[in-house]
Amino acid sequence: MTDRVLLERAASCYLRAGQIVEAARCYRDAGSFQRAAELAIRIGRYRDAVADYTAAGLLHVAAWLLVHNLDDPAAARASLPAAPGPNPDHDSFEPSVGLTADPAVTPSNVPAGSAGMVAGSLGSVAGAVEPMSGSAVGPVPGVAGTMGGPAVPPVLNVMSRRLVLARCDIAEGLPARRILPVLADVQAILAEPLAGEPTWPVAAADLRIERWAVALAEAAHRYDQVALVFAAAVRGRRTGAEQRWAEWSLRVLHTELVLPPVTTTPALAAPTEAGVTSSGPSAAGPFSPGGPSAPVGSSAPGRPSVVAGSVAAWSATSPSAR
């Protein structure tokens, strides 16, 4: 029996005994950094969680914690991986950013409000992308490198980075209007149903950007944008979107939300999540409960948004998504 197995068994014993700090230490010593991070968040030790997520290669999640839960936008910006250039060096390229077959599409050269520019490359994924795994704080990306591991459309990784940077803008007191293009692009993605049965990575990454978008809009006190995000998710038939929207309305607005019945069967099941559901700078966890939403501007009839349509096409056709 390996040391890692023994340490993880010890962590399980500590969990049953309610000794979360010791359980996290055992997971950390075993190299199970994501599990350690989840436990650290449960007891409010966000600095420890940042270190663990960083060790796990989940730099976007670590950066989100820094700005959203620790109110440290400077550290969050510094912790984000450098955006890959046209020909990223595989020794220095950060896998969690995502790499598309089109070198022109990278987090650094996707201007706000130009989601359509990203969409063209969703049909093919070359190189490292993020396998996903569940988390007590919500779905987060895993480190790349698993042979045959599932992949997510690179546009979702780009959006994660943009959401972190937008959250930094709000934390630094910049005008709330700066986040509107980012939220509009998230809404465009959420408003279109994914084709077929989405893989776990696609569903988890999709839910992650929804939750972060809700938290971002809430932090900026743009509740109208929260409603648009949720409405887009409902329109895109994300399972549980209506319930998340209703829960948010009760928690924040103290108002019961009543929506007309949906006549179509939801196409995208949100990944099961446990634990933290609160949002905002003083929230107990890094993700907001969130709910699906609708885009700022609806697409013309019969002409779905380029980004959302490309995500759906990628999900249906990419070999790595099967």
Tens-digit pLDDT profile for residues 174-192: 999 999 999 999 999 999 9
- Radius of gyration of the chain from its Cα atoms, rounded to whole angstroms: 19
Within a 10 A sphere around the Cβ of 109, how many other Cβ atoms? 15
pLDDT value of residue 140? 53
Q: pLDDT: is 21 or 155 the higher one?
A: 21
Give residue-wise pLDDT tens across range 276-291.
333 443 343 444 333 3
The pair of three-digit structure tokens given for residue 158, joined into one six-digit string: 């780009």
Indicate if the alpha-carbon torsion angle 53, 57, 63, 66 is positive or negative: positive
Question: What single letter denotes the amino acid at residue 161?
Answer: R
pLDDT above 50: residue 101: no
The pair of three-digit structure tokens given for residue 291, joined into one six-digit string: 């709910």
Among residues of the chain, what percentage have pLDDT more than 70? Answer: 59
pTM: 0.65
Phi, psi of 238 (to 5 degrees): -80, 125
pLDDT value of residue 203? 86
Q: Which residues pair with 279 in a beta bridge?
A: none
Whose structure tokens read 């109110």?
71
pLDDT above 60: residue 109: no
pLDDT above 60: residue 254: yes
Among residues of the chain, what percentage have pLDDT more than 90? Answer: 48
Q: pLDDT: is 228 or 299 the higher one?
A: 228
pLDDT value of residue 243? 94
Q: pLDDT: is 314 or 103 the higher one?
A: 314
pLDDT above 50: residue 95: no
- Of the candidate ranges 114-128, 150-164, 207-221, the one whose mean pLDDT is the lowest: 114-128
Average pLDDT of the residues in 250-275? 66
Q: Where are the beta strands (DSSP E) in the chain?
A: 132-133, 140-141
pLDDT value of residue 162? 96
d(CA 60, CA 33): 15
Q: Which residues pair with 141 in a beta bridge?
A: 132
pLDDT above 50: residue 61: yes
pLDDT value of residue 286? 42
pLDDT value of residue 220? 97
